[in-house]
Amino acid sequence: MIGVIPKGSQLPVVEEFFELFKTPWELYRPGQVYDVVIATTDEVTEVNARLLLVYGPNIKNIDERIGTRVTERREHAVISDDAASLPIYGEIATFAGSSIGTRCVGASCGIVGLRVCASESTVLRLGYDLFEEVKLVLANGQPVEHAHIPTLDIHIRMLRNWILNEGISVLEIPPAPAGHSFVVCLTHDIDFVGIRNHKFDHTMWGFLYRSTVGAIQKLLRGRISLTRFLNTWRAAASLPFVYLGWAKDFWEPFQWYLDIERELSATYFLIPFKGRAGEKVPGAHAARRAATYDLDELSKSIAILSAANCELGVHGIDAWHSVEKGRTERSRLGEITGEPVIGIRMHWLLQDANTPSLLEQAGFAYDSSVGYNDAIGYRTGTGQVYRPLGARKLLELPLHIQDGALFYPQRLDLSDPEAEKRCRALIDNASEFGGVLTLIWHDRSHAPERFWGDFYIKLVQELKSFGPWFATAGQVVGWFQKRRAVRFERTPDSTGVRAMSELETKEITSSLTLRIHRPSSATGDGKASTQSARVEDFCWDGKNAIDFSSNLHRMPQLQAPVPVL
């Protein structure tokens, strides 16, 4: 059990952090015995724990007692331990080289973390505030230069490793269903449906320019092959026949994606109203945000998608700033699909600090708008579904890989090999940290003049090779809700920990994993034990409470070990 001594204002952030790091914890209670205590307050009381972690850039009352001395405080830095580097967005302190203890975290500006052995316990003194960092990342997001870093997931790994390094076992529920290392969510934003709806507007003229002049530029830059160039020109030449109905509309998206994603149910976000650009839209081209299709025109496609077990969500127009308009947009799609539970992704990813609360009040089941338009990676530092600050129940399914961000000339403008390398890094992170990898491939991205379909096919095939759970956005969020419904508490005799689900059904259909990390041996130097740590995984359906003894011996109620897929 971890005891936490936070600053008074940090409790909501502490609660969310321990939904991401799903391990037994409670607010510190004087007189209780803990394996680990985490403190961010300036006044740290005497505690009965094997490991005490004291976070914060301020001088603490414990500093004099353990022999650490703060020498400098500054804003922002990149810190590193033996495994990874990550940015610190708030204030950070460095410690004097003459301080007692061994360095466990460093930065270019000096020593940021010290491990100090004190009588029968160990103290880790860290020069930044963990919970303040969680708050800053969730509230503000990460700048593009740090988009590739799963900052919050690394914070969790660092904390887990420090605990294991002291010979303390860790119980947690990892963020992926039993038998899978991570989750994949394939999504499509439906902005156009077909080019037949666009006659003599900016979309048509833009297509003709990009498929002729733009194609020549790409050919000269070596970004497309001669075959791709000829196919692009051929599509431009066929446009009059598409308008006359003599040729297939090459922007029609649904059947192409259904063929590629066969048995991999995807989520399609549909714009609820035709011809509405929306209010408060920033930028010089706000009018271009309006869609030229109406949901009534898609009744046949919607029936086909539903039959293929795909999910339909709202591609919101004004829901990001208006509860009333959000309710109207949700009701419009509900009338068409008959589904009572509906999620949303905002068109153009528009949002502000109030958006999570407004979407929650509008009745959406989840949001999936937090990501980058001009980069790929971790806007809020994690691959996990989380609850945004300002929301009470609404969960956020973060975005990670967007086609336009990868390939648009005004954005990353990557070649296929460069894009493969960037995407593979995120896949590797998902394999290590768990969570969900969310992809957006837009409705016309498989077609001329983009022709990003071949890359998407290859990317989906690579993802399949890792054996993740492919799920719709609603299924992913639903599974994380089940994980979040689990609570840990002390057993009645206070000698162990009990895991129980607060779900009304008392059943978790996509099983959770109860994972026990066991350090093979305590080395005494706080460095080597994680190298030989053992992991034991067991399926749990949530029907019955599970008790663990204080040293985390496996209980007989646990089911069979998780199969290796």
Secondary structure in 3-state letters for 3-43: EEECCHHHHHHHHHHHHHCCCCEEECCCCCCEEEEEECCCC
- Classify residue 393 by burial, with Cβ atoms within 10 Å: 0-12, 13-18, 19+: exposed
First to last CA, the chain: 31
* CA–CA separation, 399 and 385 (whole Å): 10
- Cα separation, 193 vs 292, in Å, equals 9
Q: Looking at residue 556, what is its pLDDT?
A: 40
The closest alpha carbon to 551, from 525, 516, 522, 527, belongs to 516
From-to residues of CATH 3.40.50.880 in the chain: 2-172
d(CA 215, CA 447): 14
Rounded CA separation 134/460 (Å): 31
Query: Which amino acid would we find at residue 85?
Result: S
pTM recorded for the entire structure? 0.94
Q: What is the DSSP string of 118-171?
A: ETTEEEEEESS-HHHHHHHHHHH---GGGTT--HHHHHHHHHHHHHHHTT--EE
Do the Cβ atoms of 550 and 509 come closer than 8 Å?
Answer: no
What does the block give as tokens for 291? 């869609």
- State the Cα torsion 360-366-371-373 to the nearest 10°: -90
SS3 call for 241: helix
Distance, in Å, from the CA atom of 381 to the CA atom of 133, rounded to the nearest integer, reads 10
Pick from 8, 4, 14, 3: which is nearest to 387 by CA? Answer: 14
> In Å, how far are 26, 260, 353 from 514, measured between CA atoms?
19, 34, 35
Q: Which residue type does 308 have?
A: A
Domain 183-194+251-479 has CATH 3.20.20.370: yes
Structure tokens at 17: 């952090």
Domain ranges in the chain with CATH number 3.20.20.370: 183-194+251-479
How far from the centroid of its chain's Cα atoms is residue 37's Cα?
Answer: 27
Q: Find out whether 412 and 375 touch, Cβ atoms under 8 Å.
A: yes
Q: How far is CA 344 from CA 269, 312, 359, 449, in A?
A: 7, 9, 8, 28
CB-based burial of residue 31 (10 Å sphere; 0-12 exposed, 13-18 middle, 19+ buried)?
exposed
Please report how many Cα atoms fall inside a 13 Å half-sphere around the Cα of residue 242, on the Cβ side. Answer: 18
CB atoms within 10 A of CB 303: 11
Residue with tokens 């414990």: 62
Tokens of 359: 């979407």
What DSSP designation does 287 have? G
Distances, alpha carbon 497 to alpha carbons 170, 320, 548, 552, in Å: 12, 41, 5, 8
Contacts of 489 (CB under 8 A, 6+ apart): 24, 26, 497, 498, 500
2-172: CATH, from 3.10.20.310, 3.30.70.270, 3.40.710.10, 3.40.50.880: 3.40.50.880
DSSP 3-state assignment of 388? coil
- Distance (Å, whole) CA 407 – CA 194: 21
> Which residue reads 């939904």 in tokens?
19
Q: Which residues of the chain have pLDDT under 70?
A: 504-509, 521-532, 550-565
Instruction: Count other C-beta atoms under 10 Å from residue 328's C-beta.
Output: 16
Tokens of 28: 């510190």
Angle separating helix axes 151-165 and 130-140, nearest 10 degrees = 160
Q: What is the rounded CA–CA span in Å between residue 69 and residue 197?
A: 68
> CA-CA distance, 148 to 175, in Å (whole number)?
19
pLDDT at 502: 84
Pairing of strands 436-440, 401-402: parallel
pLDDT in tens, 48-104: 899 999 999 999 999 998 999 999 999 999 999 888 899 999 999 999 988 888 999
